[in-house]
Amino acid sequence: MELYKQEFGQNFNLGFDLSLYPWLIDKSWHNDISPSFYFKTSTGFMVLWVDYEKPEQREDSEQDRYVVMTAVNSGTDESPEVHHNEDSLQIFSTEDPRTLNIFLSNTMGSITQTQSHT
C-alpha cells in the first residue's frame, strides 16, 4: 500500500493517477496536514502537497488543493530528507487536477534532463 494511503487513509483521493509520475517520491507523514511528494528538477527539489478534495476538510480552506513549493535536501543523495523551509517559495497552485496534470507533464521534461545529466 502506498505511504500516503497508510498515513491518510485508503480512501484518500489524489485526483490524479500517481503511476503516471514515477518520479514523484511519496514522503507523506500523518503529522503533516496532507500527503506530499518530492521530486528533483534541473533547478532543485520541489514538494507537491495534495490536500483533501473538499475544502471544508482542509486545515486552510482558502488554500488550493494542489501546491508545489521549492524545497531543500538536508540529507544526502542516497538518503534524501527533502522538505521546504523559510526560504521556500510556492511556484504552483491549483484546485484543478487537470491543470496539475499539465504542470506535472511539463515538469517531466525537466526531470528527464536532470536524470540524464547525473
| Residue span of the structural domain in which 105 resides | 3-116
pLDDT, tens digit, for every residue of 20-37? 999 999 999 999 999 999
Q: Are 33 and 10 in contact (CB under 8 A)?
A: no
Please tell me the total count of domains within the chain: 1
Residue 112: CB partners within 8 Å, gap ≥ 6? none
pLDDT, tens digit, for every residue of 74-116? 999 899 999 989 999 999 999 999 999 999 988 866 554 444 4
